[in-house]
Amino acid sequence: MGRPVTLFTGQWADLTLEDLAKKVSKWGFDGLELACWGDHFEVDKALEKDGYIQSRWDILNKYNLKCFAISNHLVGQCVADDPIDERHQRVLPPRLWGDGNPEGVRQRCAEEMKNTAIAAKKFGVGIVNGFTGSSVWKNLYFFPPTNQDDINKGYVDFAARWKPILDVYTKNGIKYALEVHPTEIAYDLVTAKRTLEAIGNHPAFGFNFDPSHFIHQFINPVEFINDFGAHIFHVHVKDSHVQLTGRNSILSSHLDFGDTRRGWDFISPGRGDVKWDEIVRALNRIGYKGPLSIEWEDSGMDRDWGAPEALEMIRKQDFNPSSVAFDAAFSAKK
């Protein structure tokens, strides 16, 4: 179909935007999905520093790159998470962590997510991708067991925290795309539906579709597209591989990514269990015309090898839907 193919910069934040843009331009990417960490896109500078927005575009334009979305996963995670602890401190700047009081962290991060919408508008993109956090993910498999009243409180809490943020997105004409993902308020089809209902199908809220997060849950990613096509605002190209041996667990035993003892792991797109032909056909059915953004994660492969290979793979897979029925000519009139 010729959808633009971009690279999500979140896993490349050790490089400056200039250095990364130079790389991906040579590889043939159409653009970048800018992460709001590293020096790639800094929300506070976008709102406060004259010339900052233009400086980002100057770099992108220099290397003939486009941008369709920015992403603020790390801050979004802290809006509704519970507990807030040292894990969050490791991913937040000091101005948002503050004294570490959990509710203070959540409130500062909520304001930052509102500001992200304003910054996106200034930057000229219409989508912010990210996480939401969840106060009930920790209760996924719990003893003593939880009940539905416990879980409902989590969705009420999510809605109370995110509706005021999403209202700012609506005001600024920006969409917020939650990457459906374990640890989030929506991590599968059932919880995605529950999330939409919790916020009254807020018009600014939808999904960043990433098939890799369904594979190790034994969910067919196409079913998510079938059910939530109207709510898919953005698409990630990422892959994962289930590697159960009879000795390991799908829960991955607290092992790091890249440890071969894990029951599953992320892998370079095209080398895992995602069936990209089926994904592209489903995206064609729902009329998705946005970017395909490669989120490259593979602990066993050099990223400078893997990202260009992933680009080549998805370009080969991204075909146009047919405009005619293949058998129409059989009944054509002379």
The model's pLDDT over 125-183, given as tens digits with 9 standing for 90+, comes to: 999 999 999 999 999 988 899 999 999 999 999 999 999 999 999 999 999 999 999 99
Evaluate the CA torsion angle 271, 272, 277, 279 in order and state its sign: negative
Q: Supply the pTM of this predicted model.
A: 0.96
CA distances from 143 to 8, 11, 58, 147, 188 (A): 38, 35, 54, 11, 22
Using the 8-state DSSP alphabet, how is residue 202 labeled? -
Identify the pLDDT of residue 77: 98
Identify the pLDDT of residue 334: 55
Q: What tokens were used for 229? A: 């096509």
- The two beta strands, 175-179 and 5-8, are unpaired
Domain boundaries, position 248 = 5-331
Using the 8-state DSSP alphabet, how is residue 176 labeled? E
- pLDDT tens digits for range 229-246: 999 999 999 999 999 999
**237 phi-psi bin (left φ>0, alpha ψ -120 to 50, beta other):** beta
CATH number at residue 38: 3.20.20.150
Q: Provide the number of structural domains found in the chain.
A: 1
The ranges of the chain with pLDDT < 50 are: none
